[in-house]
Amino acid sequence: MQEPLQISFHNMDSSEVLERRVREHWAKVERHYDGIISARIVLEAAHKQPHKSTLGVSISIGVPGRDIAVKREQRLHESDDRATWVINEAFHAAERQVEDYAQKLRR
């Protein structure tokens, strides 16, 4: 990748655990195509109230000639940790899109 991976946290405190999980998932995405130019991942909490909190994950991947964008949101509850689920879903979608892009280039 030409530019370093950017990870941002909006409306929430940064978390080493979430950042580590993002980097692990990103390593899997990078394996599908080595021509990625840039990547920006934003983890965002829409609300500060615990009973109405939503975690959003936005992934923007720059590849030659196009940008790949993925966005997933999940309402979080105090009793269960859905942050892992929404991060997994966003990165699985990103992997599929990068893999599809790489396959089109090979044809």
Q: Give the long-range contacts of residues 84-89, CB within 8 A, separation 24 or more.
A: 84/21, 86/55, 86/56, 86/57, 87/18, 87/21, 87/22, 87/25, 87/43, 87/57, 88/25, 89/57
For residue range 6-58, what is the model confidence (pLDDT) as tens digits?
Answer: 999 998 888 899 999 999 999 999 999 999 999 999 999 876 555 557 889 99
Of 1 and 47, which is predicted with more confidence? 1
Which DSSP symbol is given to 15? Answer: -
The answer to whether the beta carbons of residues 84 and 18 sit under 8 Å apart is no
Which residue type, as a one-letter code, is found at position 64? P
pTM over 0.75? The answer is yes
- CB atoms near residue 98 (< 10 Å): 24
Mean pLDDT over all residues of the chain? 87
- CB atoms near residue 17 (< 10 Å): 9
